[in-house]
Structure 1
Amino acid sequence: MKSGTAIQAVLSFLLELGLFGAAGLWALAAVGSPWAAVLAVVVVAAAWGLLLSPKAPARPPWPWHAVAGHVLFLAAALVLLAVGHPALGWTVLVLALVSAALVVRFRTDLAAESARARAEWVRARAERHGRTGGGGRVADGVPGRPGDASVPPASGDGGGRSARGGGRRSASRR
């Protein structure tokens, strides 16, 4: 992980904590019960864990998870400002803007990390459920499936096609 993406990851974690805190403070201000605040934090944390965390099972593809996360971070800043915590609200707002700038700056690195993490998650999930094909490749329509155009065929299994997925070789190359 490069230093810019590491800084962005730390900022995202801090902003996640700010999001959870904002949910709790909003519920406390709106309902007045500490149990409502706890429930709000649990609901937001569960939703974040299922949808937007780095290893979320239902994480949207790049860049939509970054966009959704930063929209929520900005909403958290506005909630903190609205419930009477201006220092926290402005801090979350500034951190969210810095994080968004880092996402734009390191978008290619972050996109590659996101794709790599998603592929690793899919592979691990398929192995846990016993869905691997021959040669350790993952089956059931996920990357690495034998015959998938994105994966070059094994040696001797080209069927006359080049490793890049092109058509038949020309007569001069046979």
Structure 2
Amino acid sequence: MNHHPTVASRTPLLIAIAAMVVVVLSSNILVQYAINDWLTWGAITYPFAFLVSELVNRGFGPVQARRVAWVGFAVAVAASLVLAPPRIAMASGLAFACSQMLDITVFDRLRHSRWWRAPLIATVLAACLDTAIFWSVGFAGEELPWVTWALGDLGVKLVLGVCLLLPFRLLMGKVVATR
């Protein structure tokens, strides 16, 4: 009996990895462009990284969610080192690794409570950690309004975290059905 996963069974995870790479890489590029003194374009794209990992966690469990996060992390950071300044790539990598592992762990612990509780609490905690690490490591000492950008970034992550509950709920059944 063949126990190797088929291409069809790996397809959702490959899509999740590709989505994670696109989200992280685009966020690392877009964070360099300010909308105003409170916000960069990267704040709008990054919350989708939590959506991706939480959908994988719901459908395939924390082991696969960590695998998607680590592969997405490796590819995105490598590409970011070419397409973004090294300080942003390094700060992003550290913040991403810490916040994704927190998100996956919290989500997994709360996965059996009401459907919205795990993604909401995991996203809020991970967004706070991600923001603190990314902005302090990537921008401390820079002559830029990085503290207000960090506050605006966190506000957007929290608002989008709530808004992404609807897509999470709508996609949750589709992800579970692909297993």
Same fold? TM cut 0.5: no
Higher helix share: 2
The interval holding the TM-score normalised by the smaller chain is 0.3 to 0.5
* Larger relative contact order, structure 1 or 2 (CA cutoff 8 Å, min sep 6): 2
